[in-house]
Structures are given as structure tokens and as C-alpha cells.
Amino acid sequence: MSSYLIVKSVHVLCAALTFVSFTTRGVWMWRGSPWLQRRWVRVLPHIVDSLLLGSAAALVVITHQYPGPAAWINAKIAALIIYIALGMVALRRGRSMRVRRAAFVAALCVFAYILLVARTRQPLPFLG
């Protein structure tokens, strides 16, 4: 198996784990679950997200599709920053439950956009 396929598989697996982790923590937030306060629940997502980011960087190097000329990669990076900010509001920084819930739903929508961009390699996947 080529290094590209291995790194891509790790990236896709980490993306799936990130989605499951964020969704689970969002549901726990919605319900006010004490599980959100457990140490492993706070640490594990950072490990998975670090692997996700590392595998993304490796894919950029392997495929020579650097940010700048590759508009779809720029779109993914911008959306990732928005996703992270919304996730912070949803899981920690939101001043009210209403704000946290809205940020959670918005973050899920941004995550879906990131997946569409990755799948289509188009910064505006809805137009074509």
C-alpha cells in the first residue's frame, strides 16, 4: 500500500473520529451530562485532532497541493478555522445554552461543508 493511501486512510479515520467525538460531546452538552467533565473526554479529542492535522499536512506534502494555488484547500482551511471557533463556543465559551446549541448546529453544518469540499475538491461544492 502506498504512503499516500496510508496517510489518507489515517486522515479519513481521524475525521470520522473527530465527528463522532464532537457530536457526542455536543449531545452531552445539550443534556447537561457530567461526562463532559471527565479528563479523557477533554484530552482525547486533542490527540485525534492533532493526528488529523498532521495527516492533512502530510497529504499536502505528498500530493504537492499547497494552500494558495489550490482553492479547495484554502476553503477547507478557512472552514476548519470557523469550525474550531464554533466548537469552542459550543462546548466551552458560549454564554448561554441557546448560544451553545446554535454554535453546535452551525459547527455541524460547517463540518458537512468541509466534507463536501474534500469530496468534490471544489471550494463551492453546491454550485457544480
What pLDDT does residue 24 have?
Answer: 96
Q: Give 7-12 contacts, CB < 8 A, sequence gap 24+.
A: 7/55, 7/58, 7/59, 7/62, 8/55, 8/59, 10/51, 10/55, 11/52, 11/55, 11/56, 11/59
What pLDDT does residue 126 have?
Answer: 86
What pLDDT does residue 111 have?
Answer: 97
pLDDT in tens, 6-23: 999 999 999 999 999 999
What pLDDT does residue 89 have?
Answer: 96
pLDDT in tens, 24-48: 999 999 999 999 999 999 899 999 9
